[in-house]
Structure 1
């Protein structure tokens, strides 16, 4: 293990190398002259569990032998043999920090407004872990050069850091990161006194974390120690290494900076890093190109000087493909096709990306061929069935249970799974949903649910409703409570919903399978540590649960394809793939945008010795360089995302600029070849999306049903629809298709109009014989309060609408007094009907109000919450008042009989509350009735079709049946396509 002489205990493997295989080969070569048992005395510390498994697999592939002791660097935090107290559970520390942050936010209302307290506690916990890992004590922030000249925001941050200084005391219970560093420092101290006789190796780690770097330095200083670095760039010249420390701020965003800093901390130069094994990289020439493209900014001018030494670029880029997709979907499909091609050829392919959305898109695309990739990240617990149920339940507390929230819970696949038969639950849920959609209410109470159940004689239905009530009892009244109480009620409600009315939570599916077990572990951990948390509001507790569920991932249990895998960028250094796809190479994705730090400024971090945002970018750059050196590489990005142009990753931009700027080496041609190979996959993806047969767009429908199927009765509002959109009459009255009301009730214009009609109707019906304007206005507002309270469950909408009614109340009352002096309401929301002569067609109407005047004539009123139609619209389309007047003269309304119509008016119940008169005379009524007869006669002919959107008020006016008519495949100017149906 001392090969290479003094100072040669740092070794490296080039980017793209199969690190596990090369590491094992190098170790076996060094142990070749030792007895077999000597290998068993070697201790190897590896950076990740996947690396450890890959190294063990590499040993297995080389025949039976004794294995070295393979350990993880992170396992040192749990080493029981070191005299350091056990680490505090991370959740306990975060709950303690959440309490402290909550107190800060309560005192300082301007500090991070709108940010959930637990999110701030998470960021503070991350800062504390970083300080502990880097060995930065809170005292470092008390230095004058840090505390001076900083904004009040940072002064508050320093106050918080002083509060949490208790966690840095010698007798404090350590966090996992603090214990890791203490254990490593204890080991390093022991080794400094007495070096271990057996070899110790650290492999696969870049030393990016403070405690790991301490371990690496300690191992590198041992006589029998060795550090094997992944992706070390042996092609960088000395001046490039030196430039990494040039300037006041080091170039930490360079992929090799961590190695440079490690060597410098040991008093060595980068040239001291030796090759662990002579096996070359998969493509050394390509590694030189990528190395040159990633040169630090101070020496980027060497591109032109050193570019000529790269030789012809066609060969090094021959196995390099560049996919520049127009959209993320096209990128995902192209990647899926490349992965499928690899699987068909028996090649191992890895998709490496930090973009989890892209990874899920690729997984969905592969599903069409039955390929399930081995996704190392798994699926977030919050997106699993148990996670969704727990999240939905957590969001119930402290608010009224809406119809939408109730149905979401009842239709959840884990609801009522504790009994033997789930069928009745599903049937009751479907029927309740239809009832709530049709009749409401928006916030169903237990009394309303029991009234719905009591409409039938099913005992099980009533028991089911009472189970709902018992489960949700006290949800609305839940306020700020201790965390332990929040957890208990949350678990009790979740268990009750999962059990069902006739089952048990133990028999349900809630805590089963991997997702359920992980959810139970997460919630039990929260219950166990709840005593260390503060009091939580319902919204704060929901945020806490969502954060915990989002942090956990469920590994897939189905058998994954043995050749296709999706890996995170950190796992790219494991290597071992024949085809490596680097996807999501856009700025903000890879590299990711630095997370905002609510506690410390960049300058404070630099002076205190903490990690700068460039550190994370440098680590991402190293992951990119390591993966880009593989044998067959695909570089992929989407040019647009969410209707906005994206910016190529800085590393991809550097690579393409370098290659394109070397015409003498065939760079432009090589780059075009890379893009051409990418376009081939994009063309295949486009062909995959293209239908096999061209499907022409649908024509504008004009169905012609048989005459005996056509409606023989319509309301006056239906006549307007028949004129504007005959297809809606066909769909509703012939096909009997009715729009499904939204489940989530909302205070929209339709409800507002209904409420205003109810208020005015009751106001008119209850008018006393004698009433002053002040009394009338008070009665109107009292009725408004009563009806709004009973029928509008949204407090904000009630207040807004009440204000609008109060604004128009004086004008409305004054106008109503004039109307009362002219006549008396005789018809108020009462149905009337009349037969259209010589047609067998009945016209119906329910006028808002018809007043009988002193001269025996009548006046018709119609209430409008919006603007009334214009005179032109009334003459051609919206003939409601004209038709009602014609019906009144023909005796359609029993109370008043046949009578002359003096006039009609629209009463605006919004805006200024004005009254718009409609001129009624025998000529206009005669023309209206004749046009109605012609309209009815036209639709009594088989050749007349029900054309869709015949004369809509606006081209973009939405209709209830536009989707059925395939509007969008045809335009308003498109001719109709009559077709006999039925």
Structure 2
């Protein structure tokens, strides 16, 4: 107990609702007169805590009430300034603080300049990222009141790697230049200003205490300036300091083991502090306040819930320093019992979100009961909010959502990325299809034009820039002519809007210029709808501030650096929904959950790397340097996360959840989860019903897969014409033939598709056709013809394929000389033919028809694999035989006759590793040779059988009838292949 007249220090244990208990106590002490409470002042850690206390006053008042003044001391880690109450109008004015974004832009410029001078240039986006880390490290120096001179006094160069030596040297240079920048602006750092204001207020209150009470509540920041202010408040005549969950009953041995420790007098070595413990930052605060743990009294007033004291002790035991966990087996059963706490372990994050949503929904069945989800995983929070909507329940995530995933943010990023990629098809179409672009009545017509452009842009990427799209739309094409004409009629409207961004090109320019063009282009695309709502206002304010600060402070950059820069800054912008959330359910981040309470607290995402999160590395100061300077260790955040966990577990009911794997790999349970499980042993209660319900909620119970599709339209409505290239498809996968020819569903090329083997084959066939038609098949002219064709093609084709294609061209020229020497000549190339057979029209295009001494030779150029004899004997891969059948029956016009040879000219590696070879299914040297006449007869027989079965007959078009000969999967999704294939 505190002595009379001593500091007024109190703590509220975790098993009580902090805000409600605090309010009840304040009402008892100062609420006897209407003005007694209103004359008071409550200091809180940040602006988020003010709302929690306001709601607690509303719950406790039962009617009208004059609230005390609620003032936040601010948090540099949140870029949050102190409340204006710390700087009244009648006080001596101090220098204003530099804004966080202004400081970051200046630091980015300094970093870029120093890195360039050191021969390690960085782009603008990387400079801004490094400046963010630099600003955080600088804030820690200011908050901990570590003078930069202390860094220079350290002599650890020989104990650090070259990387850290360079980083510290760069850090020192920037620190030397930063004060000059502040002096130029006439400003000081935000953390420095907060320290000055807090110290000035403490000095003022010591001289003249305020007339009303002053209560510092929920403040656990261990900064020296905060500690001095709290000490001052505790000594005021009506001053109170109330902190959450101080371990008053922790054994002295454990408390002393936490640190911080003084250096050993004999060795000068300092024992390592246990910064990962939930009480470490509180102990550090107490030491800086100059008070003892025994001076804190228990806050006697109760409000809201009041859970089990024994459970709080069990949680404290579970989170004890590792050295003392050996005492667990000897603890009494009641100090190991986690009564009221259950745990749910789910398979995936999606299942975890489902389980949490069910737990929240269950709470609504009990009138008046409240529940809250607390998690640092914002993706999990969004999933839970989406799941509860199935029951018509809307819950707002008070931690907000990053601007990068909201429509205004995604629009700005898409515009910047499209310009950076010089309007390549994918980012261009994603931008034009964005829901904010041309929203309203004009959107239907706009989307119609975008869809026309989408069809044209399918396939390999056109030349870069808007001019590349222009050239593609103007390029003549027999197959795409009408489609390109329709897209070309709409394209000028979109092109005019994008032209300012395209004009930026890749030149380095002032950031302010890039931002102005981005803003104006976005406005032209979307109108005022882009800036509407909380997310739109957030985006507008960020761009406006960034444009102002960038004009004088930011480094120059090229347009392709704008998107990474915006992504870095937008990720740090949280947009919070301003309207009221559900009255009984809530979703909190760890910071938002402090001072909050609910009947049921759900702690989600208890995996290592999530809760606690992986400490962000400091790229500027090595861990050894940070320790020598007295800066917080990177792992201190783990201890604060543990304190948040202990406070949340103080609710009457608590549910912990985790997923056994994340999106990529198996997940490791949180160290907190493992400690609680190890302490409780068999008493670690599992929420088995909830785990089962989460699995069953979307389980269809009985799985009835679709049968193998086998449509059977009437014979008179079936196609009566077929190409030789579709015969294998008809026999191996009749359903695919049905979808292509009967339903007339053609597979679309992907947008910005890679140049596949099919595209390479097209280039080869076109070159060989022009060589035969225009150059008469003269071998010496083939290379020139191919190079002329490639010069007009896509740069990627030339860079990746030209060496191999020219090797193939040289082989064909050599093979052509052999044919000429043997008396063979080219009779026709790319000749189309057709015949009537078995009641249908068979069509085909021969790559090449030669006349030789022995008769007609059918040649097929193959850029892929050559068909095997086994496939031919099985009745497949008979395209070459069917072309011979067409020639035999006069289907190729003047090029007719009985074929005596069939050849595949393979443009690939031969078995002996030489390039290019000739393969013939009628080669007598093969293991299972087929004669020319037999080959043609085999093709005719198999074709006639297929026609009688599926084209003139009524056999069903069964899907994947012979999957080993059906390698293409364009229609697999349409036939719902994964539902039935392999289940028979």
Separation in 1, partners of 2:427, 2:484: 25
- The correspondence for 2:277, drawn from 254, 264, 267, is 254
- The correspondence for 1:740, drawn from 748, 751, 765, is 748
CA contact (8 A) 1:77 1:176 kept: no
Q: How does 1:571-582 map to 2 (within 5 A)?
A: 571-582=592-603
Kindly indicate whether residue 845 of structure 2 is the aligned counterpart of residue 824 of structure 1.
no
CA contact (8 A) 1:861 1:907 kept: no
Query: In structure 2, do the counterparts of structure 1 residues 106 and 868 end up closer, same or farther at CA, with 3 Å as the change threshold?
Result: farther
CA contact (8 A) 2:108 2:554 kept: yes
1:527 corresponds to:
547
Separation in 2, partners of 1:397, 1:916: 49
Separation in 1, partners of 2:764, 2:223: 66
- The correspondence for 1:547, drawn from 568, 587, 599, is 568
Separation in 2, partners of 1:119, 1:220: 41
CA contact (8 A) 2:500 2:521 kept: no
- The correspondence for 2:689, drawn from 680, 700, 708, is 680
SS in 1 for 2:709: strand
Cα shift at 1:973? 7.8
CA contact (8 A) 1:77 1:177 kept: no
Q: Deviations 1:815-867 (Å, cap 9, x if unpaired)? A: 2322344433232222111111xx221111111111223x3722222122222
Q: How does 1:955-974 map to 2 (within 5 A)?
A: 957-972=967-982, 974=984
Cα shift at 1:114? 13
Cα shift at 1:5? 2.5
Query: In structure 2, do the counterparts of structure 1 residues 873 and 475 end up closer, same or farther at CA, with 3 Å as the change threshold?
Result: farther
Q: How does 1:91-110 map to 2 (within 5 A)?
A: 91-106=101-116
Cα shift at 1:680? 0.5
CA contact (8 A) 1:303 1:658 kept: yes
Separation in 2, partners of 1:402, 1:231: 56
- The correspondence for 1:274, drawn from 276, 279, 297, is 297
2:140 corresponds to:
130
SS in 2 for 1:830: strand
Separation in 1, partners of 2:276, 2:441: 59
CA contact (8 A) 1:889 1:900 kept: yes
Kindly indicate whether residue 763 of structure 2 is the aligned counterpart of residue 755 of structure 1.
yes
CA contact (8 A) 2:25 2:302 kept: no
CA contact (8 A) 1:217 1:262 kept: no
Q: Deviations 1:86-114 (Å, cap 9, x if unpaired)? A: 11121111112222233344456779999
Kindly indicate whether residue 26 of structure 2 is the aligned counterpart of residue 27 of structure 1.
yes
1:514 corresponds to:
534
- The correspondence for 2:149, drawn from 139, 150, 160, is 139
Q: Deviations 1:369-427 (Å, cap 9, x if unpaired)? A: 0111131022222212211111100112243322332322222111123x753332122
Separation in 2, partners of 1:174, 1:913: 74
Q: How many residues are aligned here?
A: 934
1:287 corresponds to:
312
Cα shift at 1:582? 0.6
CA contact (8 A) 2:501 2:521 kept: no
2:332 corresponds to:
308
Kindly indicate whether residue 571 of structure 2 is the aligned counterpart of residue 561 of structure 1.
no
CA contact (8 A) 1:888 1:901 kept: no
Cα shift at 1:292? 1.0
Q: Deviations 1:6-49 (Å, cap 9, x if unpaired)? A: 5443211101321111112222333367x553433322111233
CA contact (8 A) 1:337 1:681 kept: yes
2:230 corresponds to:
216
Separation in 1, partners of 2:435, 2:170: 44
Separation in 2, partners of 1:963, 1:285: 58
Query: In structure 2, do the counterparts of structure 1 residues 107 and 834 end up closer, same or farther at CA, with 3 Å as the change threshold?
Result: farther
1:602 corresponds to:
623
Query: In structure 2, do the counterparts of structure 1 residues 482 and 47 end up closer, same or farther at CA, with 3 Å as the change threshold?
Result: same
Cα shift at 1:909? 5.4
Separation in 2, partners of 1:300, 1:648: 18
Separation in 1, partners of 2:322, 2:483: 80
Gapped regions of structure 1 (runs ≥ 5): 499-504, 661-667, 975-982
SS in 1 for 2:278: coil
Q: Deviations 1:578-614 (Å, cap 9, x if unpaired)? A: 1110111111110001112211111111111111122
SS in 2 for 1:574: coil
Bigger shift: residues 885-894 or 115-124: 115-124
SS in 1 for 2:979: coil
1:201 corresponds to:
215
2:286 corresponds to:
263
Cα shift at 1:148? 4.0
Q: How does 1:717-796 map to 2 (within 5 A)?
A: 717-767=725-775, 772=780, 776-786=782-792, 788=793, 792=794, 795-796=795-796
1:802 corresponds to:
802
CA contact (8 A) 1:77 1:179 kept: no
Q: Given the two structures, how large is their TM-score scaled by the length of structure 2? A: 0.89
Q: How does 1:22-61 map to 2 (within 5 A)?
A: 22-31=21-30, 36-60=34-58, 61=60
1:833 corresponds to:
834
Q: Deviations 1:249-290 (Å, cap 9, x if unpaired)? A: 111111111221122223332222212325394211110111
Query: In structure 2, do the counterparts of structure 1 residues 438 and 251 end up closer, same or farther at CA, with 3 Å as the change threshold?
Result: closer
Query: In structure 2, do the counterparts of structure 1 residues 312 and 18 end up closer, same or farther at CA, with 3 Å as the change threshold?
Result: closer
Cα shift at 1:177? 1.9
Separation in 2, partners of 1:973, 1:339: 39
Cα shift at 1:899? 4.4
- The correspondence for 1:865, drawn from 859, 863, 869, is 863
Kindly indicate whether residue 525 of structure 2 is the aligned counterpart of residue 497 of structure 1.
yes
CA contact (8 A) 1:99 1:533 kept: yes
Separation in 2, partners of 1:708, 1:258: 84
Query: In structure 2, do the counterparts of structure 1 residues 571 and 421 end up closer, same or farther at CA, with 3 Å as the change threshold?
Result: closer
2:920 corresponds to:
917
Q: Deviations 1:67-87 (Å, cap 9, x if unpaired)? A: 322111115265544532111
Q: Deviations 1:849-901 (Å, cap 9, x if unpaired)? A: 11223x37222221222222222223331111111112111111124133433
Alpha-carbon RMSD across the aligned residues, in angstroms, is: 3.0
CA contact (8 A) 2:456 2:484 kept: no
Bigger shift: residues 879-888 or 221-230: 221-230
Separation in 2, partners of 1:115, 1:549: 12
Separation in 1, partners of 2:948, 2:242: 92
SS in 1 for 2:919: strand
Query: In structure 2, do the counterparts of structure 1 residues 406 and 311 end up closer, same or farther at CA, with 3 Å as the change threshold?
Result: closer
SS in 2 for 1:289: helix
Q: How does 1:342-741 map to 2 (within 5 A)?
A: 342-346=363-367, 347-417=369-439, 420-437=441-458, 445-449=469-473, 464-473=490-499, 475-476=501-502, 477-498=505-526, 505=527, 508-531=528-551, 532-556=553-577, 560-642=581-663, 644-660=665-681, 668=682, 670-671=683-684, 674-675=685-686, 678-691=687-700, 694-741=702-749
SS in 2 for 1:827: strand
2:252 corresponds to:
238
Query: In structure 2, do the counterparts of structure 1 residues 559 and 111 end up closer, same or farther at CA, with 3 Å as the change threshold?
Result: same
Cα shift at 1:308? 1.5
Cα shift at 1:903? 3.1
Q: Deviations 1:632-672 (Å, cap 9, x if unpaired)? A: 11111112223632222111211111111xxxxxxx2x32x
CA contact (8 A) 2:880 2:902 kept: no
2:925 corresponds to:
none
Separation in 2, partners of 1:89, 1:527: 14
Bigger shift: residues 374-383 or 274-283: 274-283
Separation in 2, partners of 1:191, 1:269: 23
2:93 corresponds to:
83
Bigger shift: residues 745-754 or 367-376: 745-754
CA contact (8 A) 2:720 2:951 kept: no
